[in-house]
Structure 1
């Protein structure tokens, strides 16, 4: 294991799609980056871009210290899906004295915990979804965005089924596992969604979630 003794600008732990894209962008910008992951195949893939990529058996404090990750100015922890590992790894990196730790979160609750232990938090899927939704509503250029084979962002028209109900009363999140990330009423576009906001017939909402769940909501509303 190569242990960096000098200061390195960035460290990235976890090479999923987000971590890989982040590492690639930083490397191509000429920045020095240390990359760590437990998956040897992922590390082999990123080594086409940098030699500073290492397989780690686990992400405990001692192992992380052996890699020299504590010498980074900023470390990104990109392990959002495995919440327990995400939180413990973030805590270990913070305890190693890294000045700035930015952790990926996939739920609000996970983000709250990460913030409480001292990390900055990003919600890549949500942040990207909001940017896309804002463009979709303002430009009216797209009917849906496919983030991957299962996760979609789509416009859905509110019908009389939910007219007069607040967002929280609509149970769109509870019953359909969908999150409203933006909405449009006439010429007005809202991207800061308040659960107490009252829905009206013909409102357009932008939801993110699994394709089947969006279809179920449309069936419920009578849009299909």
Structure 2
């Protein structure tokens, strides 16, 4: 396996639907990924995308070390069905000194335990539900990613309410506590957001700020 390799970019433990999709996406992007699962048929399937996939019958520390998981820069623990296995595996990986450990949680309580161990926590079903809800209920928010502490990164489509104004004149930082970090105009994107940059109807902007502040700005864009 990869016991003696110096650095592996990503490790994925668990090949449920989320873990399989994640491992495939990383491999398709040309990233080096080490994949571990106890199901031989799932490992055989993921080997269509990466050769670095191995069947492990146990996820104890000795087995993980033999596989080389300690050499990964980032490990994603994608175990959701067995909470106890998820927690113990996360603890083992963290104690092995992996710089970044991300763990899938199936409930808030599960996530709390993982966070206390020192892992970053993701809630795939919850996050996808929020993303879908944003698309269903919002005519201006195109995409939204939730960070911690109620902070979001959102892409919005500008309306005539703000057309013709410069970034300085719109003054989203003062009025809505939002920072513009990217803009797309006529299919061309830029992150060079200057005070003189003119905002146009149908431009797409990416802002970062509190969720409620994003909603306030969205309300301004779509109000009559």
Structure 2: where are the runs of 5+ without partners? 141-210, 213-224
| Aligned-partner SS, 1:58 | coil
Aligned-residue offset at 1:3: 2.8
Question: Aligned partners of 1:73, 1:103: CA distance in 2, in Å?
Answer: 14
Q: 2:70: which partner in 1? A: 70
| Aligned-partner SS, 2:138 | helix
The 5-angstrom pairing of residues 121-132 of structure 1 reads 121-132=121-132
The 5-angstrom pairing of residues 43-62 of structure 1 reads 43-62=43-62
Question: Aligned partners of 1:5, 1:102: CA distance in 2, in Å?
Answer: 21
Alignment of 1:30 onto 2:27: no
Question: Aligned partners of 2:26, 2:4: CA distance in 1, in Å?
Answer: 18
Contact 2:10 2:34 (C-alpha < 8 Å) held by counterparts:
yes
Aligned alpha-carbon RMSD (Å): 1.6
Contact 1:4 1:67 (C-alpha < 8 Å) held by counterparts:
no
Question: Aligned partners of 2:107, 2:29: CA distance in 1, in Å?
Answer: 30
Question: Aligned partners of 2:139, 2:45: CA distance in 1, in Å?
Answer: 37
Alignment of 1:40 onto 2:40: yes
Question: Aligned partners of 1:135, 1:75: CA distance in 2, in Å?
Answer: 30
What is the total number of aligned residue pairs between the two structures?
Answer: 142
TM-score by length of 2: 0.61
Q: 1:16: which partner in 2? A: 16
Q: 1:222: which partner in 2? A: none
Structure 1: where are the runs of 5+ without partners? 141-190, 193-224
Runs of 4+ in 1 over 2 A off after TM superposition: 1-4
Question: Aligned partners of 1:4, 1:130: CA distance in 2, in Å?
Answer: 41
Question: Aligned partners of 1:80, 1:56: CA distance in 2, in Å?
Answer: 17
Q: 2:89: which partner in 1? A: 89
